[in-house]
Structure 1
Amino acid sequence: MTQSTVTAPNAQGVSRQRSIRRLEFISRNGIWIALAALIAFNVVASNGFLSWQTLQTNLGQMSTVAICAVGMTFIIAKGGIDLSVGSQMAVAGAVSGAIITSWSGLTSVPVVGLIVVLTAAMLSAAVLGTANGFLVANLRVQPIVATLVVMITGRGLAQLMTSGRLYEITNSQVLNLGRGTILGLPTMAWVMVIVVVLATWMNRKTVFGRQVFAVGGNRIAAGLAGVPVRRVTYTVYMASAALAGLAAVLSVGVNGTVDTANLGLGYEFTVISAVVVGGTSLTGGKPRVLGTIGGVALLQLLSYTLASHNIATEISSLVQAGVILLAVASQLRRKS
């Protein structure tokens, strides 16, 4: 009797622990499970899904979003947010467009010219990132308010720089960056891979990655422990903005034009959605770079799936909103 009385509760405890571990596994790997399920559905139900062209199209469309999302991952993991990503891209596009159209010697030394364009675009976007860092770290403005101010200001500056005109880009190096291929895959996809590899290394192997984790977990405790909270804040906002500048040049190469009224418009919401779906908590903590890429891939493939089955845009938006809500609910359940 005594043995059976003790064994039953033990069995219940073991069963509960298994259930908890199962839920934790699903919560940690839900993005990859959902992505695998969506791929399997398309293999069965979408004509032409298993084609090289489909792979190229989806990789190309997700590259610029993924590059911006990598930077946003570190901002959100630090406990911040950035609504000015699209405006950073617009300013970077305006600067790169001005250089391309006004510097006649750009094509004489193609590689150097491309480096100059990329550097100028990334630095100009980083200026807006510095403004975000100053408002958040020095003036203690709430990140959502600070970056909203920079979003409005940046878009206006981009419009002033181009006088609202549309620049047509004919530089072959920039166009190849956006439209070219390497080993059959879009060049911009290879750029995305390089950014992801570097960001993953920084997150896992460097002091900076641990500092972001510490500040996002508890900013006050991190400061008392000697973590340079202000410097970390500046770094994540500037680095994210620089990546937005890189994405802007890729977008210009794809479109062949600089349209500051539309370049990067609405990117901030897509990027934030991908980071949240990828598992990085909105309340700060561990940056999940690979999860973010999974989130970008899931949202891109979801859009492709709905479009290929002629689902109305309104329905598509509702489905994507539902996916984001499920991701946030999963985070809340994991914390509880």
Structure 2
Amino acid sequence: MSLFSLIAALLIEQVRPLSDRRLILGPLDRFADFLESHLNAGEYRHGVFAWLTLAVLLAGGSWLVFFLLCQVSPLLGWAWNVLVLYLTMGFRQFSHFVTDIQLALRLGDLPRARELLTSWRGRSAESFSSDEIARVTIEEGLAAAYRHVFAVVFWFVLLPGPMGAVLYRLAAHLADQWGSRSRLAAGSPLAETSPGVDGSVAVEALEFGRFGEFSQQSFAIIDWLPARVTAFAFAIVGNFEDAAYCWRTQAAAWGQGQLGIVLAAGAGALGIRLGQPLMEGGELTDRAELGVGEDADVDSLQSAVGLVWRALVLWLFLLLLLGLASWVG
């Protein structure tokens, strides 16, 4: 059932992508804000209770609906899986940016490519050269493919029903929404570098306290295994030796949780260099170098898209083999 659910959800999203994810994230944010406003007294345990409440209600609830529907008809349970995957995966929400940026670069329309990348990242790309746009687009594309496809698929397959897909997306969202505010409260460098962080925001962050720490810690645990499985898949369908080398020697320098592993392995598998310092907003952003070989360019964009698709096909093929083995057994 998992394999056919995944294939159906991917096909539906390719034909009719979800146009506005605020329809999903809006109610989730309001519910999360409601819990935070009623439970947050700045203590770590309050964040644990709020996170577990959301996880039980949403992830556990999605499994309960799946279980009840399966009692009526397995087809209804399958349809519920497809719907939840359609709402949680979001393959097309980033792939069209990659396609449009690649087309703009090939046509020599640098202003359009910069505009698209700025819209996608939410940060200015006005000073980027063509190669820098290609490099950052590949980074964003690999990160989005991991966050919105591979990690979701991993937990969907591992846990019963659609529980895993919901749990991963929920954990990622809460780590971003609650965890970032706790980092500000702890006085991390984020408080100094984030645009728009003024005195009022700093006071709000201090009032937020340790409420978001558990959301960071739980997501780090949930994110640990799928990142490594995804990196291994990139290595298999790309340049294995370079991917393994970059994973081993460069991933830790990137930071950003487990994402450095995925990007380092992806860069090595493609045989290109990612990362490296960037001039953003008139200031030089120091970033670790990832990968080996040539600098990324517009041709590398198509290679990166191919890498993601080959890795996804590999996962689906392995699921097919597991399904056949289970059926034969």
TM-score (norm 1): 0.30
TM-score (norm 2): 0.30
The structure having more radius of gyration, on CA atoms, is: 1
